Amino acid sequence: MTNPSLLILPGDGIGPEVMAEVRKIIGWYGDKRGLNFDVSEGLVGGCSYDAHGTPLTDETMEKAQEVDAVLLGAVGGPKYDDLDFSVKPERGLLRLRKEMDLYANLRPAQCFDALADFSSLKKDVVAGLDIMIVRELTSGIYFGEPRGIFEEGNERVGINTQRYTESEIERVARSAFELARKRNNKVCSMEKANVMESGILWRAVVSEVHEKEYPDVELSHMYADAGAMQLCRWPKQFDVIVTDNLFGDLLSDAAAMLTGSLGMLPSASLGAPMANGRPKALYEPVHGSAPDIAGQGKANPIACILSFAMALRYSFDEGTEADRLEAAVEKVLADGVRTADLLGEEGVNPVSTSEMGDAIVAALEASL
Ligand code: IPM
Ligand code: MG
């Protein structure tokens, strides 16, 4: 049997540093668990622009379509702020999402016990929090046409279009209901049906899918603004939240902060099953490229490492090994190992990116 294949795209800023720690974890699974991957590496974002004049080459795009899973670090940085929109680092990431048709973006927000004090919210509001945001990722206002900046009379007008087809809503709704069945069986769908026709359709289609295929799951609806408020007020009322591309972008950042640090949160972007039964998949941390701390060994590699845990679970059917990796992260945090982002202003003795990776490998080793 051939090994499953992984394409690693470390990207920009802290991407390469955090990905180096993921490679240690991948190495450990090969050595100690007989889980070997064929790993290849490529460029995405600003580093690809520097090398090739484009944030994603056709060759890398093709490779991403062929492999069993893509792991991505982060893209972007101030160096690229003045680039033409069409070659900005973010365009590389958006092209991957769109061409791989990764319509379901899973963003778990989980509060680790050891970090409950670290949230800006009160401890009892966040302790034990475990919610999953399912963000539609390949349509909506991110991709709708018409779009652009046009002349109208004697001024310019900027246009983006929110557009959703029934089938786009149906498939992401199914992803959310399927996930809910494996969790606490609750889905809350968020849109703005009070002001947007696309929201009216969203609500209707989610309700139809629910009625026909998932009547056993508890479904509720919320306007996205009220949902944002409820996320800050009492986040533990939620299990799975399903929402569109733009609302999901905003709500997932807010949910991320509930847990204390953006440096902790992984994501999986999944598409339709490939011929081998595995879903098209890309895994990436929710945090960005953090140019202010890049290259200093300060970054927290946990979000990227937990993204690999999601790959084990969702692409490779290795749920037990994913649990092992998540438990190793929890153990290390419980032991008080902290990167700088988990210490706050007065924090002393942070560990480096690579020391955090080593500690997690040691915890994996201890789990055998
Ligand atoms: C995210 C990011 C991206 C998005 C950017 C980098 C294009 O904010 O993954 O949430 O807006 O989707
Ligand atoms: Mg975002």
Whether residue 64 is contained in a domain is answered as yes
Per-residue pLDDT of the chain (368 residues; tens, 9 = 90+): 789 999 999 999 999 999 999 999 999 999 999 999 999 999 999 999 999 999 999 999 999 999 999 999 999 999 999 999 999 999 999 999 999 999 999 999 999 888 888 888 999 999 999 999 999 999 999 999 999 999 999 999 999 999 999 999 999 999 999 999 999 999 999 999 999 999 999 999 999 999 999 999 999 999 999 999 999 999 999 999 999 999 999 999 899 888 877 788 999 999 999 999 999 999 999 989 999 999 999 999 999 999 999 999 999 999 999 999 999 999 999 999 999 988 876 667 899 999 999 999 999 999 99
Q: Which residue range forms the structural domain that includes residue 127?
A: 120-259
Whether residue 352 lies inside any domain: the answer is yes
Judge if 174 and 241 occupy the same domain. Answer: yes
Which residue's CA is the closest to the ligand 1 atom numbered 8?
Answer: 249
H helices of 288-348, where? 302-314, 319-334
Domain check: are 366 and 255 in the same one?
no
Burial label for 173, CB within 10 Å (0-12, 13-18, 19+), is: buried
- Kindly identify the ligand whose nearest atom is closest to the C-alpha of 284: 1
- Distance, CA of 287 to chain centre: 8
Judge if the beta carbon of residue 93 lies within 6 A of ligand 1: yes
For the CA of 75, the closest atom of ligand 1 is: 6
Domain boundary among 208, 241, 259: 259
Q: Are residues 100 and 142 in the same domain?
A: no
Same domain, 255 and 128: yes
Q: Same domain, yes or no, for 273 and 238?
A: no
Residue 41 lies in a domain: yes
Domain of residue 171, CATH code: 3.40.718.10
pTM of the predicted structure, to 2 decimals: 0.95
249 lines ligand 1 (CB under 6 A): yes
Active site residues: 142, 192, 225, 249, 253
Residue list, annotated binding site: 77-90, 97, 107, 135, 225, 249, 253, 288-300
Note whether residue 112 is domain-resident: no
Asked if 102 and 203 sit in the same domain, the reply is no
What does the pLDDT read at residue 323? 97
Residues 11/72, Cβ–Cβ less than 8 Å: yes
State in Å: Cα 155 to ligand 2 middle. Answer: 30
Pocket test for ligand 1, best of 97, 98, 103, 249 (most atoms within 8 A of CB): 249
The answer to whether residue 114 sits within a structural domain is no
The neighbouring-strand residues paired with 74 are: 11
Does one domain contain both 132 and 238?
yes
Residue 83 lies in a domain: yes
Q: Give how far Cα 89 sits from Cα of 44, 299, 304, 309, 338, Å.
A: 7, 20, 19, 26, 30
* Residue 113: inside a domain: no
Q: Is the CB of 12 inside a 6 Å radius of any atom of ligand 1? A: no
Number of structural domains, the chain? Answer: 2
* Whether 160 and 286 share a structural domain: no
319 part of a folded domain = yes
